[in-house]
Structure 1
Amino acid sequence: MARTKAVLGSGARLSDYLSATLLARVFPADQINQILDAQGRNSRRVRSFPALVGVYYCMALSLYPEAAYEEVFAVLAEGFAWSQGRTQPTPVAKSSISELRSKLGAEPLRELMHQACVPLAQARKHPQAFFGKHRVVAIDGSNFDVPDEVDNVETFGYPGSRTGQANYPQAQCAVLVECGTHAILNAHIGPYHATEWDVCVPLLDSLGPGMLCLADRGFDAYSYWKQARATGADLLWRCANNRILPVEKELDDGSYLSRIYPRKSRKNAAEAIEVRVIEYEITNPEGKPERYRMLTSLLNPKEDPAEELTALYHTRWEIESVFDELKTHQQQSRRVLRSKTPELVRQEFYGWVLAHYAVRWLVHQTALEHKVAHDTLSFTRHLHLLRRTQPRSGDFSPSAA
């Protein structure tokens, strides 16, 4: 990344150049402008740093986590200068950046995520992303540090520690991921002390028929199951080994049918939800047996054998790789986000998710062109490619990745 700041040529606007950048190929400028217009947050007059550019800027913040605010802007501005054979675009003051970010807020980026972060895998070309007719997705949560500011503490809260209190407040996030491509389809951010399910509930908007959702222990409560099934998606969730699940019908593949009820219920038949239980044991890395127990809404053992479902469940770990991509590679292990207010933390978070999707989109284009599986391609290399080419991406073709 070049660190020399430059200025735009006379009469040139950064927004003109950004319409041709790689980020804009994933998130078209027209789509962003429509969102900004609908929310009344678009710029009313032409500026050197309009609202549209501010949205792309929020994505770029997570692509260059080590750089100062003005340097991140310089990366975007240098692209325009380079394409025009110029060397000095107009610099933008940090105060102008902060003012625009505050005016934008988080909502335009969240809405852009909802509209643009769609599944990437195609059944014929990427069968590894499917289980039979189902697109395989997973949900899970994680935590990250935010700046130690009064408003952030009040909104997100401190985690506890053995010494009493952690050094930084933390936010909790949840993501819904397409396992075969690592594309984040939806994400949400909430307080550290919120229940994991409460943070996950907004993700249900992106679940639907034709999906098979994987989840770890902690999501198997009756009410959670009922909410998730109401989307039309099928479920394969791990549950606690000590949960009481009476055998109602043994199946040929070793699984069995049972029913779950609301907590403290007298087992009213009208409230019962039929589930299939699959139990098995594996040897963990320490050489000790570990018992697994899963609930699924796929009740037919002939169509969906238990052995195949047990193998499929372990693809849930793909979501752990997504968190590694976000935290270790994209943020370059930067422990704390930049933003000092809750609204800007949310904005930065959604920009982070959108930038991750842009990298995964780039990986997807490479997979399509070369007819290879996504997991054979390096996220880190494509991330570096996006970082290097963003300043000159007006002349960059994704098909050449």
Structure 2
Amino acid sequence: MKRVNSYLPGFSGLVGRARKRTLNQYRRNVENANAGKPNRLRGWFGHLVPSKVLAKRPGERKRGMDRECLFWGFLGQVLRGGSCRDALQEIQAARAADGLPALSSSTSSYCTARQKKFTSEDLKRIHREVSDSLAAEADPAWEGRRVLSVDGTGVSMDDTPDNQKEFPQPSEQKKGCGYPVMQVVGLHDLSSGAMLDYEESPLNVGESALFHGLDLIGQVGGGDILLFDRAYCSYLNTATLLGRGAHALGRLHASRKISFPKGCEDRITTWERPASSQRPLYMELDEWRALPKSIRVRYIRRKIETPGHRPEEIVVMTTLLDAPAEAILDLFLRRWNMEVSLRDLKTTLGADHLRAKTPEMARKIFAMHMIAHNLIRWTLLQASTDHRAPLDRLSFKGTVDLLENWRDIPCDPGRENWERLLELAAKDKIPKRQNRIEPRVLKRRPKTFPKMTRPRQELRNRILTSKSTPQRGLN
């Protein structure tokens, strides 16, 4: 049967490209729009993630698992603490719901896509965008000022030669008996609970060097207050903060010898700039000489009494010279909120150990954990604002479980179900536990296996050798 071409009567309609059918075109439109993306997470947090990073780039081939599909699947894997197979199954379920064909059941395509479609800098850019959106919605934490805190932590990763080369294990551990460790220094926003920015390095780089040398301190703006512990209490950090119009508040370093007049618990003193020979190795001589020759700081001494313990005396250093002493001490004690955020990141979300074979993939996984942490914090902030609940008492783990249990319910922001979800999150409060005392002991006894003191392959060979040796009486 011959079809006549209405535009070129002399040619058959079977010649050239066939006319697209309406149903095929509709299926292609659905595939282009959805691509089997996990709609639940995209509906909740899609407006916070920059679309430019997830968009298809020039020259990229059309795949069943594009950059946006991969991102939301990766995020779901981090929130659930699941495996690559778990993430792939969620993507398969989303494609089935959209009427799209199934992908390969092998996880190799998903793992390869994680390696090629995103760089660690792409994910850090997304993290910064989410952090900025979250911080913009939060109110100032103290007297109209933004309060930040800085601290460091370490996360381990799989024991591979590539990881050991870039992030060596602690030197006191035997080769083959430890894990590579990546040191992370983060900047925390006290009012929203967000981790604004972070930098990573090997363990042999000091926290203060990582904070100042990679310009993480440049995120602190004029009028801000930075909370820190003893590791960051130095002339360099304090003078740099004052030069940026910010203020410092932290625990005084133990190496500084001080004296208070009798009956005085609050005094102002002057710090002199140390000699240039004592400057950090990462700082040039001209930069050191550009610092002021002296700065004025304030010491406040108090005794912290905890039931069941001896009174502990602490000395706080600050550049806030006129604020009431009790208000400054109360603000400093809120620095513990960053320790809680690090616990949520490492324990609740499972960032304590990164299941990665290469340093670049370890950076990507940690960046995705930071994104997930801030998205949960954004949900808590919305619940706190809409229902007037204290933000520091809302349960982070409870909200993670709530989002997971509501995964099959359409509740995009602005809908009735979303408001109900926020209401439930606002009601899940943590009780006040001031001066809480819990012994750091384990009731459940661990299995009586010896600790590893030799590489695994060497121990395996010893077992095989002992089994192959003829036993007396069994010849």
Q: TM-score range by the shorter chain?
A: 0.7 to 0.9
Give 1:5's aligned residue. Answer: none
Quote the offset at 1:262 in angstroms: 3.3
Task: Check if 1:26 corresponds to 2:45.
Answer: yes
Corresponding position: 1:57 with 2:79: no
Instruction: Give runs of aligned pairs for residues 204-219 of structure 1, distance below 5 A.
Output: 204-219=217-232
Matches of 2:292 and 2:406, distance apart in 1: 59
Q: 1:290-329, aligned counterparts within 5 Å?
A: 290-300=312-322, 304-329=323-348
Give the drift of 1:253.
8.5
Query: Counterparts of 1:324 and 1:113 in 2: how far apart (Å)?
Result: 19
Structure 1 pair 195–322 and aligned structure 2 pair: CA distance change class (3 A): same
Identity, in percent, stands at 23
Picking from 174, 191, 194, the partner of 1:183 is 194
Q: Does 1:399 align with 2:419?
A: yes
For residue 365 of structure 1, give the secondary structure of its aligned residue in structure 2.
helix
Choose from 94, 97, 111 the match for 2:125.
111
Rate the CA distance shift 1:93–1:33 in 2: closer, same or farther, 3 A: farther
Question: RMSD value over aligned CA atoms?
Answer: 3.4
Q: What is the TM-score normalised by the length of structure 2?
A: 0.70
* Structure 2 counterparts to residues 176-255 of structure 1, below 5 A: 176-201=187-212, 202-244=215-257, 254-255=265-266
Return the offset for 1:285: 5.4
Equivalent position of 1:137 in the other structure: 148
Partner of residue 405, structure 2: 388
Residue 296 (structure 2) aligns with: 274
Q: Does the 8 A contact of 2:303 with 2:312 survive in 1?
A: yes
Determine if contact 1:214/1:236 at 8 Å carries over to the other structure: yes
CA contact (8 A) 1:157 1:169 kept: yes
Instruction: Using the TM superposition, give the Cα deviation of residue 49 of structure 1 relative to its aligned residue in structure 2, in angstroms.
Output: 0.9
Report if aligned partners of 1:14, 1:53 keep a CA contact under 8 Å in 2.
no
User: Which letter maps to 2:274?
Assistant: R
- Asked whether 1:45 is paired with 2:67, we answer no
What TM-score, normalized by structure 1, do the two folds share? 0.81
> Structure 1 residues 43, 72: CA separation in 2 closer, same or farther (over 3 Å shift)?
farther
For residues 331-382 of structure 1, what are the alpha-carbon distances to aligned partners after superposition, in whole Å with 9 as ceiling and x for unaligned? 1xx7521111111111111100000111111111111221111123211111
State the distance in 1 between where 2:352 and 2:295 align: 43
CA apart distance, 1:147:
0.6
Q: 1:391 to 1:199 in 2, by over 3 A?
A: farther
Residue correspondence of structure 1 range 249-268 to structure 2 within 5 A: 254-264=265-275
Distance in 1, Cα, partners of 2:292 & 2:209: 26
Please state whether the residue corresponding to 2:296 is helix, strand or coil. Answer: strand
AA aligned to 1:150 is P
Question: Which residue does 1:339 correspond to in 2?
Answer: 356
How far does residue 189 in structure 1 lie from its aligned partner after superposition? 1.9
**Which position in structure 2 is the counterpart of 1:70?**
85
* Cα offsets for 1:101-151 (capped at 9, x unmatched): 22212010111112221274789x86xx62111122211111111110111
Secondary structure of 2:364's partner?
A: helix
Does the CA-based 8 Å contact 1:109-1:350 persist in structure 2?
yes
Q: Distance in 1 between matches of 2:154 and 2:319?
A: 29
CA distance in 2, matches of 1:285, 1:87: 62
Q: Return the match for 1:35 from 32, 53, 61.
A: 53
Give CA deviations for 1:298-320 in whole Å, capped at 9, x if unaligned.
Answer: 121xxx11111111111111111
SS of 1:130's partner is coil
Whether the 8 Å contact between 1:59 and 1:355 is mirrored in structure 2 is yes
User: 1:90 is paired with a residue of what secondary structure?
Assistant: coil
CA contact (8 A) 1:236 1:297 kept: yes
Moved more, 344-353 or 256-265: 256-265
SS of residue matched to 1:134: coil
Q: Is the 8 A contact 2:247 2:320 kept in 1?
A: yes
Alignment of 1:330-369 (within 5 A): 330-331=349-350, 336-369=353-386
Task: Write the distance in 2 (CA, Å) between the matches of 1:144 and 1:15.
Answer: 38
Quote the offset at 1:330 in angstroms.
1.5
What are structure 2's unaligned runs of at least 5 residues? Answer: 1-25, 279-288, 422-475
